Amino acid sequence: MFTCVIRYRVEPGKLAEFHEYAKAWIGLIRKYGGTHHGYFAPGTDNDSLPDPTFSFPGLGVAAPADVAFALFSFPDVETYDHYRAAVAEDEACKAATARFNETPCFSGYQRAFLVPIFD
């Protein structure tokens, strides 16, 4: 098993569009054999969140306010490759891509494939 972690830079004022984008992709990943662990988006003024720098004083810094993450896993590379091929032809994927192109909700992303560590 491996997990894909994507770090997004959410466009200012486009958090609602990012939420819509995220919800579309959660279903697509699940449809094609992945396990989606969720999107994690910046909080709003209505959210009560702790100080992100509390651990290891002097080392931690707050991430930029426009950072979001997505985490999803696949059991193996073959299932992931099947997902990549199938989703390219999926009408829901085409619709999500069209909505993104009309109103881009993020300006960039970084992707990493990681192996989880469990106890």
pLDDT tens string 83-103: 999 999 999 999 999 999 999
What is the rounded distance in angstroms from the CA atom of residue 28 to the CA atom of residue 26?
A: 6
- pTM, to two decimals: 0.90
- What are the distances in angstroms from CA 100 to CA 24, 90, 111? 11, 16, 18
- Residue 55, pLDDT above cutoff 80: no
Structure confidence by residue, pLDDT tens digits, 6-38? 999 999 999 999 999 999 999 999 999 999 999
Give the model's pLDDT for residue 69: 98
pLDDT in tens, 61-84: 888 989 999 999 999 999 999 999
> Where would I find the H helices in the chain?
15-31, 77-89, 91-102
User: What pLDDT is stored for residue 59 in this prediction?
Assistant: 81
The predicted pLDDT at position 52 comes to: 77
Q: Is residue 110 within a helix (H) or strand (E), and if so which, with residue range? A: strand 106-114
